[in-house]
Chains A and B, each alone.
Chain A
Amino acid sequence: DIQMTQSPSSLSASVGDRVTITCRASQSISTFLHWYQQKPGKAPKLLIYAASSLQSGVPSRFSGSEFGTDFTLTISNLQPDDFATYFCQQSFIGVTFGQGTKLEI
């Protein structure tokens, strides 16, 4: 199985900050890497698919990039609504999610 290692597991930031979350795949997954945001008691929401494509309706302060087996989600100019948990997910072979990153104020 492909393992996804996400870091950090938690992160403290302030409104207006720029933050980066990283996901590393245990093998090459091309660009089959996607990012979700989840708030307590809610379903996940797709933010970025195929490493860097912004899902319709998602603010442009969210961006994704790929460096081999390392992938990053960057959130610029943090807004109060952005404090949530973020998950990466690979779909190159089957589906595997990262453990999540809790972004706190």
Chain B
Amino acid sequence: QVQLVQSGPEVKKPGASVKVSCKASGYTFTSFHIHWVRQAPGQGLEWMGMINPSSGFANYPQKFQGRVIMTRDTSTRIIYMEVNNLKSDDTAVYFCARGLGGVVTTIPRVFDYWAQGTLVTVSS
């Protein structure tokens, strides 16, 4: 069965970086985009970007360009997201999620399977 499992909680100081991992299993790893979505405490959902595990190409909304880097390791089936220059308002639960329909889809950026989430706390 499709499963996404993320790394554990992190506590970081402002200005630091954090790297969260997402391990995929139960499907063809290179056939589906992986997206990252975050949720600040008690708040809504915010999309941070996506990566094509086959090509390694990543796409970020303008808000996160230059501060977020998504990479993948096809040998271990792990996707990584690194967020640099952390601020207190980056405190959130970060989710990875699989894109519905595969890398060639007529309905892009819909998320059918999600991991459990990783709490990242940024505090001095």
Interfacial residues, chain A to chain B (CB-CB below 8 A): 32, 34, 36, 42-46, 49-50, 55, 87, 89, 91, 94-100
Q: Known contacts A87-B45, A97-B46, A98-B44; decide if A43 and B110 are in contact (CB<8 Å).
A: no
Query: Which among A46, A55, A98, A100 has the highest number of chain B CB atoms within 10 Å?
Result: A46
Report yes or no: B107 in contact with A97, Cβ–Cβ below 8 A. Answer: no
Q: How far is the CB of A85 from chain B (nearest CB, A)?
A: 9
Categorize the interface residue count of chain B.
20 to 34
Report yes or no: A55 in contact with B112, Cβ–Cβ below 8 A. Answer: yes
Q: Known contacts A89-B45, A95-B61, A100-B44; decide if A43 and B114 are in contact (CB<8 Å).
A: yes
Q: How far is the CB of B103 from chain A (nearest CB, A)?
A: 15
**A44 to B, closest residue via Cβ:** B114
Q: How far is B42's CA from A100's CA once the two chains are assembled, in angstroms? A: 11
